[in-house]
Chains A and B, each alone.
Chain A
Amino acid sequence: NAGVTQTPKFQVLKTGQSMTLQCAQDMNHNSMYWYRQDPGMGLRLIYYSASEGTTDKGEVPNGYNVSRLNKREFSLRLESAAPSQTSVYFCASRRETADEQYFGPGTRLTVT
């Protein structure tokens, strides 16, 4: 099992550019999540998908969109990148509410 995979690992964007962060899990988990991690702020939820075909906003959704393409894949799109979106982005998945989350290795994004 690969677990949760994310691409790319690193990305540098100019302000206004767009990009999509990809996430896939091979554990047949129902729920998938996108977080951003900033120093001193812990993890903040951007969007989540409780099951295939559904997505909902988290704490900090502005400037982002998501697609739950199928049960395995959950992508995060930045339509017009801003310097405030410089962060490390983590995808996670879990089977049920009582279960732990499994995290991907992260994408380090810099917007200049």
Chain B
Amino acid sequence: AQSVAQPEDQVNVAEGNPLTVKCTYSVSGNPYLFWYVQYPNRGLQFLLKYITGDNLVKGSYGFEAEFNKSQTSFHLKKPSALVSDSALYFCAVSPLNSGGYQKVTFGTGTKLQVIP
């Protein structure tokens, strides 16, 4: 069965410092990997995805993520955190198989708090 682990319920970082939100996954075969952000009382918004190719993926709002196949990880990073980055972040995985419905599994979310 596929799964996503976000080991930290909350990450606190000072404004201007680099941030990392961790994600590890388990899936049969190669993965599609996604990061989403959720602001209070809003739906999830897509940040970035890894399908194939370069292991470093760049996305919206200056975020990037690094795919590491050997460690089955897809950590979200940003070089300099903003207070406006404070939100709930979800990692998601789907198997890279052709045809049919491919189930998407979400992690439990990590709350990012950027401290002014």
* Chain A residues near B (Cβ < 8 Å): 4, 31, 33, 40-43, 45, 48, 50, 56, 90, 92, 97-98, 100-106
Cα A102 to Cα B49 with chains together (Å): 13
Q: Given A48-B101, A97-B102, are A90 and B90 neighbors across the interface (CB < 8 Å)?
A: no
B interface, size bucket? 20 to 34
Cβ contacts under 8 Å, A45 to chain B: 103-104
Interface centre among B42, B103, B104 (most CB of A within 10 A): B104
List chain B residues, Cβ under 8 A from A103: 36, 43-45
- The residue in A4, A98, A105 that gathers the most chain B C-beta atoms within 10 A of its C-beta is A98
Residue of A nearest to B101 (CB): A50
Determine the chain B residues whose CB is within 8 A of the CB of A42 once the complex forms: 4, 90, 106-109
Partner of B32, one of A43, A98, A102: A98
Question: For the complex, what is the distance from the CA of A31 to the CA of B94, rounded to whole Å?
Answer: 14
Q: Would A90 and B103 be within 8 Å (CB), given that A40-B108, A41-B108, A98-B32 are in contact?
A: no
Is B34 located at the chain interface by the 8 A CB criterion?
yes
Residues of chain A contacted by B108 (CB below 8 angstroms): 40-42
* 15 pairs, CB–CB < 8 Å, chain A vs chain B: A4-B43, A40-B9, A42-B109, A43-B44, A43-B90, A90-B43, A90-B44, A97-B32, A98-B96, A100-B34, A101-B36, A101-B46, A102-B46, A103-B44, A105-B42
In the bound complex, how far is the Cα of B94 from the Cα of A28, in angstroms?
A: 22
Residues of B18-59 contacting chain A, CB below 8 A:
32, 34, 36, 41-46, 49, 51
